[in-house]
Amino acid sequence: PIFHLQSATQNHSIVPLITMSTTSAPPPPPATMSKPKAIPLVPIPTSCFDENHLPSVLHQPDPMTPEAERQARRRTCRFIEEAGGQRCLRLPRVAIATATVFFHRFYAKQAFQEHDRFEVAMACLLLAGKTEESPKKLDFVIRECWKLRRKAQQQQLQNKLVSGGDSPNVGGMSPTNIMSSPSSSSGGDLHMKSDEFARLKERVLLLERVILHTIGFELSIDHPFKFLIDCAQGLSKKRLLEYNPTKKAKLVGKDGQPMGKPQQNNQLVQELAQNAISFANDSLHTSLCLQFSAQQIAMACVYLSGTHAGIGPIVGKTWLDLLDGISAEELTSISVQILELVQSNRRGVDSGQFKAIRKDLDEMMKGGSGGGSSQPDAKRQKVN
């Protein structure tokens, strides 16, 4: 007899069970565990990224053009950067960068037409503060972001009035509502007991959960900043970079004398890293985090920084020899998208330097270093 332990009885007695046959049946085959579906990896490979197939572009019945979708991303990223800065939420730089990546990943799967981008930005800032161990209270986030948006709306309305144009609704609010909203006090703050504040609070909390599900709860974000610092310091220690002759002749110390080798090397690292960080900050306003890894973006920022500052590889080396892990096509695509953003956002930039960088990228592609196509990115507008 086979004995079975029956725990349901009070005395936990052992009850004999009589089998019907003398031969025991073969054990059933082990059940095959079905593998859970893996969460799609982000960043999305560049071969899978196409602006023409983003949800906002395919949305019906009111699709956006790829250019309009790109502009919506850029404007909202500027809002996130300003809202998270020292004048508003005072978040650390890494938290602002994380909020921006959350925003890009969210709208890679959701449409701008379905979710207000400023409310999504608030939720991204709230979530990024928690992720990067710099949490901010929800009421504080809503008040500061609301004031910043209202200030921008008033400025936009004022510009319309000065230019003599019509005064349409700005950001969904009429001119009268912008200048004197019943939910705001004379100082421009949002009343915490107003219906508008309650609606925003409920909406931001809901969007925080929607964002988490949309990005697959992937909260660990790699940013280019650490990688580009390591890259700049590593190239400097190996003495693989140097100033070009024209720039080197202009390097003088505090005493007015030409710099020695140690001084030149220290300034080279500092200038290379500082410019690279600026380019990395600019890259956050594009969809590059959806197309390439943080390491690849960091290497492209180092390249842009070096060529912009008159720093280049030593004789016998090329940038592709120094930047291990990135091809000519990837380097060109990242660089062109950052240059496109910088030229469109900043007035008075030295277009001659950017033309020289673009010429260098074209020559790099023609040389075939890294292999691949001779065209950097057919979907991107060429920077002249």
Instruction: Please give the Cα distance from 222 to 219 (Å, whole number).
Output: 10
Position 29 scores a pLDDT of 57
Within 13 Å of residue 344, how many CA atoms lie on the same side as its CB? 17
Contact between 217 and 125 (Cβ < 8 Å): no
- 363-382 pLDDT per residue, tens: 888 875 433 333 334 344 33
CA distances in angstroms from 208 to 128, 129, 203, 214, 284, listed in the order given: 10, 12, 9, 10, 21
- Tens digits of residue pLDDT in 30-72: 544 444 444 444 444 444 578 999 999 999 999 999 999 999 9
Are 92 and 132 in contact by the 8 Å Cβ rule? The answer is yes
Encoded tokens for 130: 């928690």
Beta strands in 74-228, from DSSP E residues, in sequence order: none
Nearest in space to 210 (alpha carbons), one of 298, 110, 294: 110
Cα–Cα distance for residue pair 63/16, rounded to 1 Å: 71
3-class state of residue 163 by DSSP? coil
Report residue 358 as tokens: 């673009």
Closest CA to 70 of 220, 280, 291, 223: 291
Residues 221, 224, 226: CA angle, nearest 5 degrees = 95
Phi, psi of 2 (to 5 degrees): -100, 130
* Closest of 84, 64, 180, 159 to residue 127, by C-alpha: 84
In this prediction, residue 352 carries a pLDDT of: 78
Pairing relation of β-strands 14-17 and 2-5? antiparallel
Contact 112, 197 (CB under 8 A): no
User: Pairing mode, if any, of strands 241-243 and 2-5?
Assistant: unpaired
Q: What is the pLDDT at residue 260? A: 79
Query: Using CA atoms, how far apart are residues 225 and 283, in angstroms rounded to an integer?
Result: 11
Do 341 and 335 form a contact (C-beta atoms < 8 A)?
no
Q: State CA 372 to chain mean position distance.
A: 26
- On whether the CB atoms of residues 281 and 275 are closer than 8 A, the answer is no
Residue 40, SS3? coil
Closest residue by Cα to residue 236 from 331, 327, 315, 313: 313
Residue 259's identity, in one-letter code, is: M
Amino acid 248: pLDDT: 76
Length of the chain equals 384
Q: Which regions of the chain are under pLDDT 70?
A: 1-48, 164-188, 346-350, 368-384
Question: Any idea what DSSP says for residue 349?
Answer: -
Inter-residue contact 251 to 264 (CB < 8 Å): yes
**Per-residue pLDDT, 349:** 62
The predicted structure's pLDDT at residue 21: 44
Q: Which 3 state secondary structure label does DSSP give 312?
A: strand
pTM of the predicted protein model? 0.77
